[in-house]
Amino acid sequence: MSRLFPAREIANIGTKLFAAAGAGETESRIATESLITSSLMGHDSHGAIRIPEYLGFVAKGLIVPDAPLTVERTGPTTARVDCGRGFGAVGAEQAIRVGIEIAREQRTACVITRRCNHVGRLGAYVQQAADCGLIALATCNSPIYGHDVLPFGGRDGRLGTNPIAYGVPTGGDPLVADFSTSVAPEGKIRFARNEGRPVPDGWIRDAHGQPTNDPNAFYGPPRGGILPLGGSAGHKGFALSLLVEILGSALAGVGSQDKEVFGNGVCFIVIDPSAFCPLEEFRRLMDETVAYMKSSQPAPGVDEVLVPGELEFRTLRKRERDGIPVDDATLAALRDHAERMQVDVDGFLLPKGAA
């Protein structure tokens, strides 16, 4: 079961807990706001549900809350950011900022990360570039412990959910696409499990390779697998996922089976459209493109054609007003971490036994 809470209230608690875990003020704010913004935009799988997960990672030493970042310019248009195993959102934000800076200087940029923890919603970073009038493409892989996605035709996981995202400036809200190359991200399966709901057909298989709607059958033990994007054409999703894996591992000099790697391998490609077309002209052309897409007559049962990011920005404005959903299991986990670290959360969290 989920209830609605003001986003700022959850953000304040997350910031308090991350600070108590050893993060600095800036790191606590960035890590929390990344997750809360995901919830605001309707991506609950990468939202508040992840706060207790990150706190658990800190407690186990898998996230270094005050890790220093190192930026190495490897060429005129390229850079590598060593995130020091700190919060992934902190490292990814630094990496996209470096990409934006290089693209403004050189018109294009490619930036990769190493030792970067879970970055959350990948679309947040390409949106930062789009808000600066730049086009950005991002990919993000997972290490071997997150290889829950089945290669097309296989029954053993070999890939992460490996999202691809892009952001493009327009005259209004930017176009922002952010999608896993699996049929669904693991976080959505977890969210369904926490709420006691089945997942849709065609999302997961159990450990024996049989289709199932039960999230618990995926988690096992033994663990099942998530299908690649595309259904009967899943070879296409598999091919895209493999590209993401290459950009996040081999390009960074890391092996796909390296058991010492933790977190995400991120690649940002940033392009300044003004290298080819004046920015205002580009925005005008993008507005025309968006209008052309939306001019298609809706199919039966569909109210309107939506472009990438449009639904998320509508959800953002609604949830800023109404609040974000937080499930009882997450609330209970937040309470437990607060008690463990002796953090006063002003009576907000559920009483014991309420979950």
Domain boundaries, the chain: 1-66+323-355
**Residue closest to 268 by CA, chosen among 92, 104, 102, 138:** 138
* CA distance linking residue 273 with residue 133, whole number of Å: 8
pLDDT at 350: 43
pLDDT at 185: 83
Instruction: Dump the DSSP string for 273-315.
Output: GGGTS-HHHHHHHHHHHHHHHHTSPPPTT-S----TTHHHHHH
pLDDT at 354: 39
- Tell me the pairing of strands 175-179 and 164-168: antiparallel
pLDDT at 101: 98
pLDDT at 352: 35
Three-class secondary structure of residue 337 per DSSP: helix
Q: Is the pLDDT score of 88 beyond 70?
A: yes
What percentage of the chain carries pLDDT values higher than 90?
Answer: 88
Topology, domain 1-66+323-355: Hypothetical Oxidoreductase Yiak; Chain: A, domain 1 (1.10.1530)
The pLDDT confidence band at residue 233, using thresholds 50, 70 and 90, is very high
pLDDT at 285: 98
* CA distance linking residue 247 with residue 140, whole number of Å: 8
Residues 6 or more apart from 185 whose CB is under 8 A from it?
Answer: 45, 46, 161, 163
> What ranges make up the beta strands (E) of the chain?
2-5, 70-75, 78-82, 108-114, 135-141, 164-168, 175-179, 204-205, 211-212, 225-226, 265-271, 324-327
CB 81 within 8 A of CB 67: no
How many CB atoms sit inside 10 A of residue 265's CB?
A: 29
* CA distance linking residue 214 with residue 82, whole number of Å: 39
Helix-helix angle 123-131:25-40, to 10 degrees: 100
Q: What is the pTM of this model?
A: 0.91
pLDDT at 188: 86
What letter would DSSP give residue 144? G
For 139-195, the pLDDT digits (tens) are: 999 999 899 999 999 999 999 999 999 999 999 999 999 999 999 988 889 889 988
Q: Is the pLDDT score of 344 beyond 90?
A: no
Q: Is the pLDDT score of 118 beyond 70?
A: yes
Tell me the average pLDDT of the chain: 94
For 55-70, the pLDDT digits (tens) are: 999 999 999 999 999 9
Residues 6 or more apart from 53 whose CB is under 8 A from it?
Answer: none
| Torsion-angle region of 298 (φ positive above 0: left; ψ -120 to 50: alpha; else: beta) | beta
CB 57 within 8 A of CB 327: no
pLDDT at 186: 87
How many CB atoms sit inside 10 A of residue 351's CB?
A: 9
Which pair of structure tokens corresponds to residue 91?
């490292």
Residues 6 or more apart from 153 whose CB is under 8 A from it?
Answer: none
- What is the rounded end-to-end Cα distance, in angstroms, of the chain? 9
pLDDT at 351: 38
Higher pLDDT, 191 or 315: 315
Would you give the distance in Å from CA 341 to the centre of its chain? 27
What percentage of the chain carries pLDDT values higher than 70?
Answer: 97
* CA distance linking residue 228 with residue 215, whole number of Å: 17
pLDDT at 45: 87
The arithmetic mean of pLDDT across residues 300-321, rounded, is 97
